[in-house]
Structure 1
Amino acid sequence: MNKTAQNVPIGKGRLIVVVGPSGAGKDTLMSYAARHLQGRDEIVFVRRVITRQGDAGGEDHDAISHVDFRQLARAGGFAVSWEAHGLFYGIPAQTRHQVDCGHIVVANGSRTALPHFSAAFPALTVINVTARPDVLASRLEARGRETRAEILDRLQRSTPQLVGPYELVTIDNSGSIEDAGQVMINALTKYLPDLRTSSPR
C-alpha cells in the first residue's frame, strides 16, 4: 500500500525523515533529540500510525487495525504510507500543513519508502542512522526475536543505496548515545538559524 499525497504544496518548512537498519537506534536517537529540544515549537516529532498493538514495545505510535488503516488511506488521511514486514505505516496528512507553516517536522521512516517521501515533500532531509555490524548484531540479539544465525544472515544482505533529490546526513550510532544524539540535534537545528544549542548535560 505505497501511497503519496497528490498536489502537495511546496512548504516553507522541511521534513526530516530518519531511516536505518534494525538495531541502529533510530527510536533512541529521536527520543534523545526530542527530550533535549523540548519546548522548541519550531520542531515537531511525528507520531506514526502503525497496524501494530500499542503495547508491542518500540516506538510510541498510534495503533490501528488493518481495515481502519486502509479506510483512512483511501480518505487521504496520510501524507505518506507504506507496507513493511506485514505491517502498514502512515505519516498523518496534517504533517503537510505543519511543513507548509514553516515547521521542521521529524518522522521515523523507511529506506524503501524514500521515493514516496521525496514525492510528497520537496523540502526533504534524510538522516541515515548506521552502526557497525557487530553492534547491530549485539543489539538485535538482545531483543530475543531472532537467532544469532538469522541476525548475521540478515546483516549480510545488501542494503538499499540512498540516492535521491534530498539532503542526506549519516550518523554512526556505534558509540555513546550522547555523541550520536548531539549529531542528531545539530542536524535538526541547522535549519533554525536563530537556535543556539549546546552539548546536552
Structure 2
Amino acid sequence: MDTRPTGTGPSGAMVVVVGPSGAGKDTLMAYAARHFANREDVLFVRRVITRDGAAGGEDHDAVSEETFETLESAGRFAVSWGAHGLRYGIPAETKAAVDRGQLVVANGSRSALSRFKAVYPSLFVINVTASPDVLAARLAARGRETKAEILRRLERSSLAVAGDYRVITIDNSGSVETAGQAMVEALQGCLPAAR
C-alpha cells in the first residue's frame, strides 16, 4: 500500500510519441512494447480511430464517425483530435493509469500536444524524426500518395516540436534496432524511479 501523502513522490506520466508520417513511430513503439511486455508499470495505448481496421499501420480500435462522436460525447476520451480527415481518441482510462503511477505511452500529434498537457500535467514528448530522403522513400513505399503529394507534404511539415514541453528527439533514419533501443532508453528515463 502506498502511504505517501497525496501529491508527493514519484507519479505516473504520459509519453506522447509524435513525428511526421513515415518517421516510424509505430515501428519504434512496437519495438519498445516488446521490451516492456512484462512490465505492469508501462502501458501502451490502443487508440480509437475513424479508420478501417484493415488499413494497415498501427493496431487500433476502428470506429465509424458516428460512433466516435457518441464516445466523445459520453466522455470516453481523455484527449481527442482530428487530422488528415480522421478522428483520433485516447481512452479516458489512461488518466487513471497515470494517476496510479503508470507510464502511459501513446501515439499522438504535435497539433494536439496542448490538449495532452491540459489532461496530463506530467507529460513527455518523444519526437521521432528521419531525414527527408528517408521519409520520402517510406511514404512512397506505402503507395498511398503520388510523389508530388509526398514532396508537398514534406515541404510543409516541420520536424521540430513547438511549445514548452519536455522533448526527447530520436532520429530514425538508420536501423530499427538503433532507434528502437533509443526509444527504450528514452522511456526508461521517463519512469518515475528515473526522474
Partner Cα distance (1:179, 1:99) in 2: 28
> Can you list the C-alpha shifts for 1:111-137, whole angstroms capped at 9, x where unaligned?
111111111110000000000000000
Who is 1:191 aligned against? 190
Once the two structures are superposed, the pairs formed by residues 37-116 of structure 1 within 5 Å of their partners are 37-116=36-115
Query: Which amino acid letter does the alignment assign opposite residue 147 of structure 1?
Result: T
Q: Aligned pair count?
A: 187
Measure, in 1, the Cα distance between the counterparts of 2:130 and 2:160.
16
Aligned to 1:127: 126
Residue 163 of structure 1 aligns with which residue? 162
Q: Indicate the SS of the match to 1:23.
A: coil
CA deviation after TM superposition for structure 1 residue 152, in Å: 1.3
- Answer with 55-64 or 146-155: which moved more: 146-155
Deviation at 1:158, TM superposition (A): 4.1
Q: Does the 8 Å contact 2:124/2:190 carry over to 1? A: no
SS of alignment partner, residue 113 of structure 1 = helix
Please, what TM-score do these two structures have when normalized by structure 2? 0.91
Q: Does structure 2 retain, via aligned residues, the 8 Å contact 1:12–1:99? A: yes
Instruction: Mark the runs of 5 or more structure 1 residues left unpaired by the alignment.
Output: 1-9, 196-201
Q: Distance in 2 between matches of 1:67 and 1:163?
A: 32
Which whole-Å CA distance do the structure 2 matches of 1:160 and 1:182 have between them? 21
Q: What CA distance in whole angstroms lies between the structure 2 residues aligned with 1:194 and 1:117?
A: 22
After the TM superposition, which of the residue ranges 64-73 and 132-141 deviates more from structure 2?
Answer: 64-73
Please identify which structure carries the higher helix content: 2
Change in CA separation of 1:194 and 1:111 when aligned onto 2, cut-off 3 Å: closer
Moved more, 133-142 or 155-164: 155-164
The yes-or-no answer on 1:140 pairing with 2:139 is yes
Normalised to the residue count of structure 1, the TM-score between the two structures is 0.88
The 1-side partners of 2:187 and 2:155 are apart by: 31
Gaps in structure 2 of 5+ consecutive residues: 1-6
Cα distance change on mapping 1:193 and 1:154 into 2, 3 Å: closer
Moved beyond 6 Å, runs of 4+:
none
Which residue in 1 is equivalent to 2:171?
172
Label 1:165 to 1:120 Cα distance change in 2 as closer, same or farther (>3 A): farther
- What is the rounded CA distance, in whole Å, between the counterparts of 2:29 and 2:178 in structure 1? 13
Comparing 185-194 with 158-167, greater Cα deviation is found at 158-167
Partner of 1:199: none
